[in-house]
Chain A
Amino acid sequence: MSTSRHNGFRHVRRMTRIAAALAAGVTALIAGGFAVAGRHSASADTTAAKAAVKATNTAATTTTTTTTSSLGVSQAPTASSASPVATSGGS
């Protein structure tokens, strides 16, 4: 085999190895980016969900208190109205 041909094959092997390494690296980079973005959006969704649950529960508690006041019955807020806030805050 001539030197030129030998160098050519070596060139092909080296370029293929570089391309394979680059492809694997880029795949890992993109997949990692997706994972980070996915975790980020999941975290944002959880925060938004927590805020929504808290707002709903606060409104429910207010309604319960208002209703009991209008009935003229002195009654402390029930445990059922208070517990979801604690539950949602703890998750």
Chain B
Amino acid sequence: MTDWYVMRATGVVSLILLTLVTVLGIATVNRWRPGRAPRFVTLGLHRSLSLLAVVFVAIHVVTALFDPYAGVTVLSVLVPFAAHWKALWVGLGTVSLDLVAAIIVSSLLRRHLSLRVWRGIHLLSYVSWPVAVVHTLGAGTDASATWLLATTILCIAAVAFAALSRLPLRRGPAPRRLAPQVTM
């Protein structure tokens, strides 16, 4: 029974950590820095927290494998939509996991990859994170619980805020002020 509780708890914490990693990733691109600290602090936190998130995701997956109720097999961890229980929702978790794995591996092998390839793979995080959110809401036993809904909404708000701040709000030159028309 303990693995069942740990699986659910690590799932929630993984979502929070992945949200933090996504927000820090966007902050890195935006060249944001905490207070007077150098800019590389944001990137360093992004990297270290992503590894921490991987640890929690790994615990989430391993406990799911050992939990008889979830019925998750090794195949369904690797191949999306192969699970017997809530195939769609668990499958979305697998999709997110595979994408996170690709992002982490490509980042660890960045020296051997071109910037274009690495960037292309890294942009998959914009798919991985929302898929993880949908997995939480669909497969989560506590998805209807107020506290989990509030946590999910806060995560969505944090990423939405960070993503919106990245959008260029001023496109092109500022509109020219027209000369006042003289009416006769």
Contacts and interface: CB of A to CB of B under 8 A. Distances in A.
Please indicate whether A and B come from the same complex rather than being unrelated chains.
yes
B34 to A, nearest CB: 8
Contacts of A9: 44
Q: Is chain B's binding surface mostly helix, strand, loop or mixed?
A: helix
B143 to A, nearest CB: 14
Q: Is chain A's binding surface mostly helix, strand, loop or mixed?
A: helix
Interface residues of B, number: 24
Contacts, number: 65
B184 interface: no
A12 interface: yes
Contacts of A26: 9, 12-13, 16
22 contacts: A5-B38, A8-B37, A11-B34, A12-B41, A12-B44, A12-B45, A12-B48, A15-B45, A16-B48, A16-B49, A19-B20, A19-B48, A20-B52, A26-B16, A27-B6, A28-B9, A29-B9, A31-B2, A32-B5, A34-B4, A34-B5, A35-B1
